[in-house]
Amino acid sequence: MEPGEPLAPGEPRPGAEASAAPRWEEAKAFYDNLAPKKKPKSPKPQNAVTIAVSSRALFRMDEEQRIYTEQGVEEYVRYQLEHENEPFSPGPAFPFVKALEAVNRRLRELYPDSEDVFDIVLVTNNHAQVGVRLINSINHYDLFIERFCMTGGNSPICYLKAYHTNLYLSADAEKVQEAINEGIAAATIFSPSRDVAVSQSQLRVAFDGDAVLFSDESERIVKAHGLDRFFEHEKAHENKPLAQGPLKGFLEALGRLQKKFYSKGLRLECPIRTYLVTARSAASSGARALKTLRSWGLETDEALFLAGAPKGPLLEKIRPHIFFDDQMFHVAGAQEMGTVAAHVPYGVAQTPRRTAPTKQTPAAQ
């Protein structure tokens, strides 16, 4: 065909066949991006690692809390309904939840049919009328939280075992204590004093040892007889495993998921990393802690023995998504360095109770 010669009816323009496919793929990709994303199917609770998170742990609700405290529940509900299309700001547990979802994406790539993933449940004593704002906030941040437990002013703790809860996080210390008393791993979560960037691709969880992973046996000896007797006791019992503490089961669940990556040759690229951060000294009392973990078939990726030194500076380097400790002194020190810290109200250190940050009367946990 000569240049400028008109096309016969129905005759394709030269090069049209070559360019049609790329244009079609480009258009398809554009419309696929506009379509709602298909979310994965929720696992059966008994097959998953279930993390129950309260609304005030996941989101910041300071203004709503003030209204509840000063004006009562009816005004609180009215305010929530009037603002239900305004998403809440992220709370202290938000980065932790995002990291759980990042791990889930990797697990589903490797094990498409497995339900051995993290399952997040929003647990709150809010009234159901507030649920729309919570749903809107979850959708706004593209979180995958399909299970809700809204108890309308009653304590939700009685439902945690039915959800097969492996860990419960709340801003309400009384509810956390209630859960601990029921034998459920739980902690009161606090916002850090300043924002510190955390990993977007690797979940990092740091644990204190005594009265968190282990029982408070050794802390009782320190409290009753002092450090010298404690060191003697640990040396004498080095090969006797400590009893388990309230969060041993959660470390066990993390280890189970880590092994799914190890079996694929991804130990060094595992998106879960765990840390033991303890005030114990390595030479005099560290061996018993490590041998206890070994006797349970567990390990942490890193073990930091601080011999009484402050934990905050080390945690600033680790940048965990969450750090668990039974003593508010260490929780406050972690907060000051920008770490999201969680208090585990267990063991002899709770009597008398450590001074905690000012606690507001909870409207919703």
Active site members = 208
Residue 298, burial from CB neighbour count under 10 angstroms (0-12, 13-18, 19+): middle
Q: For 11, phi and psi rounded to 5 degrees?
A: -80, 130
Token reading at 40: 């994965």
- In total, the chain counts a number of residues equal to 365
| Residues 256, 72: Cα–Cα separation, whole Å | 45
Residues 359, 175 contacting (CB under 8 angstroms): no
Which amino acid, one-letter code, is at 29? A
**Contact (CB, 8 A) for 54 and 173:** no
Q: Helix 94-110 vs helix 248-262: angle between axes, to the nearest 10 degrees?
A: 40
Query: Residue 344 carries which side chain, given as an amino acid letter?
Result: V
- Whole-angstrom distance, CA of residue 339 vs CA of residue 344: 16
Tell me the C-alpha distance between 279 and 208, whole Å: 8
Are 132 and 208 a contacting pair, CB within 8 Å? no
How many Cβ atoms from other residues are within 10 Å of residue 101's Cβ? Answer: 16
Give CA–CA dist 85/132, Å, rounded: 8
Residue 74: CB partners within 8 Å, gap ≥ 6? none
Tell me if residue 28 falls in helix, strand or coil: helix
Question: Which residues is 206 bridged to in the sheet?
Answer: 275, 323
Query: What single-letter amino acid sits at 263?
Result: S
Spatial distance between the Cα atoms of 131 and 152, rounded to a whole number of angstroms: 11
